[in-house]
Amino acid sequence: MTGRSYGHYCPVARTLELIGERWTLLIVRELVLGPMRFTDLHGALPGIPRNLLSDRLRDLEAHGLVARRTLAPPAARTVYELTDAGRGLVPVIADLARWGLSHPDPPRPDEEVSPAMAVLAGLAAHVRPGPANGDETYRLEVDGREFTLRLAGGDLTFESGGTEPDLVVSTSAAVLLRLRAGAEPVAKAKAAGRIRFAPDDPVRIRRFLDRFALPTPTARQRKERA
């Protein structure tokens, strides 16, 4: 996106020319879950210089993957959001998250992890189809950030809020990834207060765990941790 070209026709090469620069896909990762102000986006990407973030956002806008929008009063602020073309990258990021999650060791419970990445890799990338007439909304509170996920049948969308959720799930990004990796049972994390559900309804909790295919440890894993 800086004018570099591989110099031959190839869809993979073209994709890398558009989104292959350092930080670009991580910016898209953060915007997948909803519009963000520049300040919030910068805070969600520790280590990126402000001028580089500005450059990457400008490039993404120029290629029609990101757009700026001014919210109506009383918010009256400018946010960045993915366009339809930008949202087309969601399956790509989900596949990268699934692949990458199988390689590093699970994070420590207190390790710093991107909340957006945890929601994408820990939940959204593993959603299971539900009943055709099923419609469920979950609000995730992850390290101070809120994400609203709506499931209608097998379709998952990220909402901007305002919908009354069927279940509120509060946890940290690191714990969410540990649960996904099977490094800690949900029951143990719940008993220790590392994940909380409201309401504490076993039926709703089980449906949430089933819809996102959160694993339960195998007998071997339980024995190794004993």
How far apart are alpha carbons 152 and 63 in whole angstroms? 31
Q: What's the distance, CA 38 to chain centroid? A: 18
Mean pLDDT of 212-220: 63
Please state the separation of Cα 51 from the chain's center in Å.
Answer: 24
Q: Residue 1: pLDDT above 50?
A: no
Q: How many whole angstroms separate alpha carbon 196 and alpha carbon 194?
A: 7
Kindly indicate the confidence band of residue 223, based on its pLDDT and cuts at 50, 70 and 90. Answer: very low
CATH 3.30.1050.10 positions along the chain are: 90-225
Q: How far apart are CA 21 and CA 108, in angstroms?
A: 29
pLDDT of residue 161: 66
Determine which helix (DSSP H) or strand (DSSP E) holds 223, and give its type and residue range.
helix 219-225
Question: What are the phi and psi torsion angles at 84 (to 5°)?
Answer: -60, -40
Other Cβ atoms within 10 Å of 27 Cβ, number: 26
pLDDT digits (tens, 9 = 90+) for 60-117: 999 999 999 988 777 668 999 999 999 999 888 888 888 887 777 788 888 888 898 8
* Residues paired with 172 in a beta bridge: none
Smallest Cα–Cα separation from 149: which of 65, 212, 96?
212
| CATH code at 11-87 | 1.10.10.10
Q: SS3 of 21, please?
A: coil
Q: What is the pLDDT of residue 14?
A: 85
| Residues 42, 143, 126: CA angle, nearest 5 degrees | 95
Q: What is the pLDDT of residue 224?
A: 44
pLDDT the model gives residue 76: 61
Most trustworthy range by pLDDT among 32-36, 78-82, 163-167: 78-82
What is the predicted pLDDT for the residue at 58?
Answer: 95
What confidence score (pLDDT) does residue 3 get? 54
pTM more than 0.85: no
Q: Report, at the CATH architecture level, how domain 90-225 is classified.
A: 2-Layer Sandwich (3.30)
Residue intervals in the chain for CATH 1.10.10.10: 11-87
Using CA atoms, how far apart are residues 62 and 24, in angstroms rounded to an integer? 13
The two three-digit tokens of residue 99, written as one number: 């692949």
